[in-house]
Amino acid sequence: MKYLSEIRKNLPENCLFDKGKVGCGGTTLALENDEPYVVCVPFQSLIENKIKQYPEGKIIGVMEGVGIMDIKYYLREVKIPKIMVTYDSLPKVLSCINPQEFNLLIDEYHILLTQYAFRSEAINNVLNNFKLFKKWCFMTATPIEEEFILDELKDIPIVRQSWNDVLNTKVITVKCDSVKASTIKLIKSHLSGKIEGNAYLFVNSTKFIKDLINTLKLNSENTRVIYSKGNKIQLGIERGSTLDAPKKINFLTSTAFEGSDIYDEEGKIYVISDNTYTHTLLDISTSIQQISGRIRNSKYINTICHLFNTSRYNGLSYKEFKENQDELERTALKIIKTYNSLDEIARKDIISNNIYIYKSSDNYFNLDHNMMLVDSFNYNILNTYQVRVNLTDAYCKQSFEITTQQDIIKIKNLNLNNTESKTFKDIILELRKEKENKYSLKYDELLQQYSYDYPFLKEAINKLGFEKIETLRYVQKDIKDALIKIDNLSLDVKVTKRLNLKTGDFISKADCKKKLTDLFSILEIKEKPSASDITKWYDVKENRLTIKGKRVEGYTIIRPKFRI
């Protein structure tokens, strides 16, 4: 048996449903049965992928440009409505229907955890409203381990579908000195025919992809790029979709990891994990399980290759991480109790940047236990890449067959800079010219494009202006420092934002003191900092590492204490 429709007529009710394998037609079952359904998915691309597989008018996809009147018109025209919607737009659909007349499918529900940190509002749309529906089902082929299930879902029964034809996927793990250089060599080998087949590179970073496109001079003849429509970066190659014709080189970000059907008999899967881009470090139990079954008809369907390097975690054990997290939870609860004891007027004016505290609409403070789960889940991902044995163990736990490539790819000192790239000064001058030309329509588009590489750009232009940026001689550090000085943020958030240290980073005590000294000078703080002051803004583990043959004392960052 290949599809769920051969086993059951309907999805199970009011449960977390582990459908057992990707590509078995779980979403199709909801779209083709005889009951009204709202199918709630994480990405717009999944809606587009499904709609193109059905006759026009059978399904309505609630995306950008689809309004309430469009939904109401559709509901009048069809007997058995099938509505597909992203997590973000579920409230729009709820304003048009009686949910007691509809079943709800929450597809790829593991995303509720993996993207909670930066999509909490959209995810809470689902968590706060799913029980309004007649029947509901949370479905995935890659369920979250029970210890990480979100609070709102913990008591829901789990239904698992068993199969007797699940393929064992063989994983070739390649530990690289430089993941980017190794990926370049891989792409060249595919383009030259040295390696047969079409390369599908799953890498969750458009910046990484842009660097490769520029370095290798890739073009639309040999390369397809599939990434979120919400990301306005221009890569030099037109944004593609999973339904386009395959190319020799195919880049896919997380928008295509989940649920999309890809067809290419010559497709070979490569997973790219580079520790300098932490969001490319993928969870083996969810993202890589999804990726392994993404190309439905490939003759290489049971093999993937994973290029990776070790993570930045430096000697931080899970026990130490949990002890620190427990202490942070105790502190958050004390803060919550104090804040909530105040009257409403006082509570309204208080802002908490503690990462484990959130403020509800009625101005009461609460412990965000789901954020704690996300924190632990992310530790597990990063720790998986610490050494090869961790990665191998994680694959074996998920029933992958491991093949380790011993001849580690070593390509060093490869110049990846794009010589045609504009300098930061050139970009500012171009934007200023377009801004001052009242007939130009390009300014907003260019600003959005350049803001990908320079996230502070829009804020700098709006708050400092072009003349001040010129006075600062277009020096990015000086511009960022000027922004921090005028930023209407608490001192703690300003310091955390400027230091910009990530979980797993190691900073020596000498570097720590220097960075804080420079920052205190910028912020006109009169005190003289010591290295240990880092503990005011970060949870850390004091550590000692060998760097270039010398023992260096410093701190491993566990997490920032403040939301930025």
CA distances from 491 to 334, 349, 536, 555 (A): 22, 17, 11, 22
At residue 97, the pLDDT reads 95
Q: Give the H or E element holding residue 492.
A: helix 491-499
**Torsion-angle region of residue 15: left (phi > 0), alpha (psi -120 to 50) or beta?**
beta
Residues in Cβ contact with 298 at an 8 Å cutoff, skipping those fewer than 6 apart: 264, 265, 266, 267, 268, 269
Could you tell me whether strands 550-560 and 538-547 are parallel, antiparallel, or unpaired per DSSP bridges? antiparallel
Q: Which of 488, 519, 542 is the last residue of a domain?
A: 488
The residue-averaged pLDDT of 384-400 equals 56
Q: What is the CATH number of the domain that holds 37?
A: 3.40.50.300
C-beta of residue 60 within 8 angstroms of C-beta of residue 84: yes
Shared domain check, 191 and 134: no
Mean pLDDT for the chain overall = 82
312 secondary structure, DSSP code: S
Give pairs for 443-450: CB < 8 Å, separation 24+.
445/232, 448/232, 449/232, 449/233, 449/234
At residue 396, the pLDDT reads 63
At residue 516, the pLDDT reads 92
Residue 53 lies in a domain: yes
Query: Which of the given ranges, 125-134, 479-488, 545-554, has the highest pLDDT on average?
Result: 125-134
Shared domain check, 81 and 175: no
In single-letter form, the type of residue at position 404 comes to: T
The helix/strand count (H/E) of the chain reads as 20, 19
C-alpha to C-alpha distance for 204 and 280, rounded to whole angstroms: 5
Shared domain check, 176 and 62: no
Shared domain check, 35 and 177: no
Shared domain check, 304 and 208: yes
At residue 256, the pLDDT reads 64
pLDDT digits (tens, 9 = 90+) for 336-359: 999 999 888 888 888 776 778 888
Angle at 559 between CA 558 and CA 560, to 5 degrees: 140
Asked whether residue 238 carries a pLDDT value surpassing 70, the answer given is yes
C-alpha to C-alpha distance for 367 and 373, rounded to whole angstroms: 12
At residue 315, the pLDDT reads 58
- Per-residue confidence band for 556, with pLDDT thresholds at 50, 70 and 90: confident
Shared domain check, 130 and 63: yes
C-beta of residue 306 within 8 angstroms of C-beta of residue 273: yes
pLDDT digits (tens, 9 = 90+) for 417-457: 343 457 899 999 999 998 888 777 778 777 866 775 677 88
Could you tell me whether strands 60-62 and 82-86 are parallel, antiparallel, or unpaired per DSSP bridges? parallel
Shared domain check, 100 and 232: no
pLDDT digits (tens, 9 = 90+) for 23-76: 778 899 999 999 999 999 988 878 888 888 888 889 999 987 788 999 999 999
C-beta of residue 356 within 8 angstroms of C-beta of residue 367: yes
C-beta of residue 410 within 8 angstroms of C-beta of residue 459: no
Shared domain check, 446 and 397: no
Asked whether residue 295 carries a pLDDT value surpassing 50, the answer given is yes
Q: Could you tell me what percent of the chain has a pLDDT over 70? A: 84
Residues in Cβ contact with 158 at an 8 Å cutoff, skipping those fewer than 6 apart: 15, 16, 17, 18, 143
Angle at 268 between CA 267 and CA 269, to 5 degrees: 120
Q: Which of 488, 514, 533 is the last residue of a domain?
A: 488
Strands of the sheet containing 267-273, edge to edge, are 223-226, 249-252, 198-202, 267-273, 303-308, 170-175, 401-404
Q: Which of 116, 139, 160 is the last residue of a domain?
A: 160
At residue 156, the pLDDT reads 94
Asked whether residue 489 carries a pLDDT value surpassing 70, the answer given is yes
Shared domain check, 218 and 87: no
C-beta of residue 455 within 8 angstroms of C-beta of residue 447: no
- Among 227, 231, 275, 228, smallest CA distance to 251 is for 227
C-beta of residue 122 within 8 angstroms of C-beta of residue 86: yes
Give the structural domain span for 21.
Answer: 4-160
Shared domain check, 154 and 42: yes
Whole-model pTM: value is: 0.57
Q: Could you tell me what percent of the chain has a pLDDT over 90? A: 28
Residue 414 lies in a domain: no
At residue 437, the pLDDT reads 86
